Chain A
């Protein structure tokens, strides 16, 4: 009798395993919707180290989500491989003389893949949703950055979202009113938060919008047909796309692989075409012909609190700038494609009226590693402050790489600057941000990423009283230069470019407000047969519209 029960239990276990197996098979196919036919053809196979967080452009905040959303929806204008803008959903635009009104003509014949036409109202609905407090979009601030009329008051809770300065004069005409001229406004329309949304569809779906492929609509080069959460997802070429002829790839296939070794092995076995390398693996693959270094645009810097006793002294700050060997950080601690930054406006961020990158025509050695300069500055600082020794505390995020960087900086400063002792304080990121925001810190390690393709996105950080002005930098001339670049000089590209260069020079050379460390970068392995992947340092990290895979 007992034996029978034991055998039955064992059979139940086995059946359970088999049963789960079957239900899982069905589950995998259930979310597909016509998978069999669609997986014919050569897909670009991409490995990602995180699961896809969101397909709703007003909820997403990370690079991967933006990549995939941009593969399925387009904006009024889009960014080309060289960083220039081209009309996409918009056919053309006109800007008023005072630069405060934009009129966009919507391209005819652009469809959502449910047959509905893309109209100007899709933009009105989407932009109002961006600032809707019920949606609480993390990126709602970008409406303010874009200078859209009433965005600030709506975000402050003092006006209703219906008062946003966007109107659809008719199905093909979109009118935007700004509160001030914004030189980089057009480039912002290429950012996913400003992409259109089909009002009827989104309202119908309610809270389900963006959760599965059936809850999404596409009007871009690809559409999502399968999403196995935590495992991977598939996009297939969208035959309804208005520029479908330009799309050569059959689709994109993403696989979530969190372990970097496994991902690299999959690349070696030709199961994956695109994979990001972790710093441990970079050395193994540096000589590989598939290796590519790609610039990102986060800039990490040391932020001394300019209100602090010691760091209110400009020479103390200058000492910080020149005392740390940043090559060591980039080559040994990071070793992931990041590059040394002796400036604050990153490379590949913005092109000037002269057609050249901001960094190409500026000085690039503001915080160059120079022990002589550092020691001299430090000695001067000490005598000016009337001290012979000092002890400071550096606050930073409690993440592995940041910790190693902090420890290295501690060692460099203590070795190179006589009489200085450095203590370290690791904090969870949120706490670190709070401390720096309220000024309750002495020295902090922090970073900034751009919101739009213009040097102002970094320079505006350090305006007097700015919310993210952690170093508490205060300088009237700097404020004047920076503010004029977005107001009075808005219509004079050459003059404002010069003003911004002057501002950076003042910030870093004269006042040494911060000590830049490095510009983030990534190391990728990309199958040599693949061409046409367009990385961007600002905005959407990767655009896949023009991908081609050779036989």
Chain B
């Protein structure tokens, strides 16, 4: 297991390095520039380029770029969004909230999804099953922007007006982070719930049809024990597989959710950076997303090993 993790870590490091290089190259070819004002004279633009080291030959810039990131975690400064602020500080301030929101949505979404799937699988082909399917299809089809705005409008605005009490804050409130993150979490979790429910239900139905379940039921095991002790664990493996793409959808989903709810997160930072050509910020955020995704993949692989002993043995564990 240790050897396995060690090997995976090495591969992850190489992947990150390649990603950084590709990013750097791509951004060199990006048309446009952060220095856009019509008032800037050519001389002034030269000065700005000098100041930020943009006039050096590409190879020098690249070497400096790598050195700063690896030794100091220094991604340079922002040109536009927060002028002259250290990008690493900007990200440090913003990514905890995004990660937290993402994990909340993942946890909330997975649990609800599993529960829904269990109900649907146990009572397959009944009303519950159909209801779950419909819910899942709607959840995957509605664009997150529409759903998020709907939540803000109905649960945030209309409900508050009707009851006179601000049950759900309209936007993210830094002084009331728990309560004001409920709506964003639900909005972000929609896709997770729908996907997990759908996937899990199919797996569960298959598992429930297998011989060892029949034996357990024959032995007189209660329905809940059947589900918890045997079925779920076996059905979880394929679901753990989709955790990877789910994480990606959370990262991209957060771009929209953060905008609608006014959350100062990393998704919103990326979108803004791209539209104003704040190069250092784009690179830094892309790096963090890559890091996060790779970490998730590693986590999933370890999870496999824990859930399914067969995989652990195959990879040369105990």
Contact = CB atoms under 8 A, between A and B. Distances in A.
Interface of A: 2, 5-6, 9, 13-14, 16-17, 20-21, 23-25, 27-28, 50-54, 56, 59-61, 133-134, 136, 138-141, 155-156, 207, 210-211, 228-232, 255-259, 261-262, 265-266, 268-269, 271, 427-431, 433, 437, 446-449, 451, 467-468
Contact of B264 (A59, A138, A230, A467): A230
A229 B90 contact: yes
B96 A20 contact: yes
Nearest to B39: A141
Given A138-B44, A230-B94, A269 B174 contact: no
Given A21-B178, A141-B44, A269-B160, A259 B260 contact: yes
A156 B47 CA distance: 11
Contacts of A449: 39
Contacts of A257: 171, 262
Contact of B83 (A9, A13, A60, A446): A60
Interface residues of B, number: 60
Contact of A140 (B44, B94, B178, B306): B44
Interface string B75-100: 00000111111000010011011011
A534 to B, nearest CB: 24
A258 B97 contact: no
Contact of A17 (B36, B37, B82, B103): B103
Interface of B: 31-33, 35-44, 47-48, 50-51, 80-85, 90, 93-94, 96-97, 99-100, 103-104, 107, 149, 152-153, 156-157, 160-161, 170-172, 174-175, 177-178, 259-262, 264-265, 268-269, 272, 303, 306-307, 309
Nearest to B178: A21
Contacts of B40: 138
B118 to A, nearest CB: 17
B38 A133 contact: no
Contacts of B260: 259, 261-262
A23 B37 contact: no
Contacts of A23: 96
30 contacts: A5-B306, A9-B303, A9-B306, A13-B107, A24-B97, A54-B84, A138-B35, A138-B40, A138-B48, A207-B84, A228-B174, A229-B94, A231-B172, A231-B264, A257-B171, A258-B268, A258-B272, A259-B149, A259-B259, A261-B149, A262-B149, A262-B152, A262-B170, A429-B32, A430-B32, A430-B33, A431-B32, A446-B38, A448-B38, A451-B39
Given A20-B99, A136-B47, A265-B170, 12 more contacts: A2-B306, A21-B100, A24-B97, A27-B96, A51-B82, A207-B84, A230-B265, A230-B268, A265-B152, A269-B170, A430-B35, A467-B41
A138 B39 contact: yes
A136 B152 contact: no
B306 A6 contact: yes
A59 B306 CA distance: 54
A17 B104 contact: yes
Given A56-B84, A133-B47, A262 B261 contact: yes
A139 B38 CA distance: 11
A13 B171 contact: no
Given A133-B47, A228-B174, A258-B268, A59 B161 contact: no
A13 B36 CA distance: 44
A229 B107 contact: no
A231 B174 contact: yes
Contacts of B99: 20
Contacts of A138: 35, 37, 39-40, 44, 48
Contacts of A230: 90, 93-94, 264-265, 268-269
Contacts of B96: 20, 23-24, 27
A256 B261 CA distance: 10
A266 B170 contact: yes
A269 B37 contact: no
A156 B42 CA distance: 11
Nearest to A142: B39
A259 B272 CA distance: 12
A543 B50 CA distance: 35
Contact of B259 (A61, A155, A258, A429): A258
The 10 A-B pairs at the shortest CB distance, nearest first, are namely: A230-B264, A428-B32, A231-B264, A54-B83, A20-B100, A136-B47, A430-B33, A257-B262, A28-B174, A136-B51
Nearest to B299: A9
A431 B36 CA distance: 9
Contacts of A6: 306-307
Nearest to A155: B43
Contacts of A27: 93, 96
A20 B97 CA distance: 8
Contacts of A207: 84
A369 B22 CA distance: 51
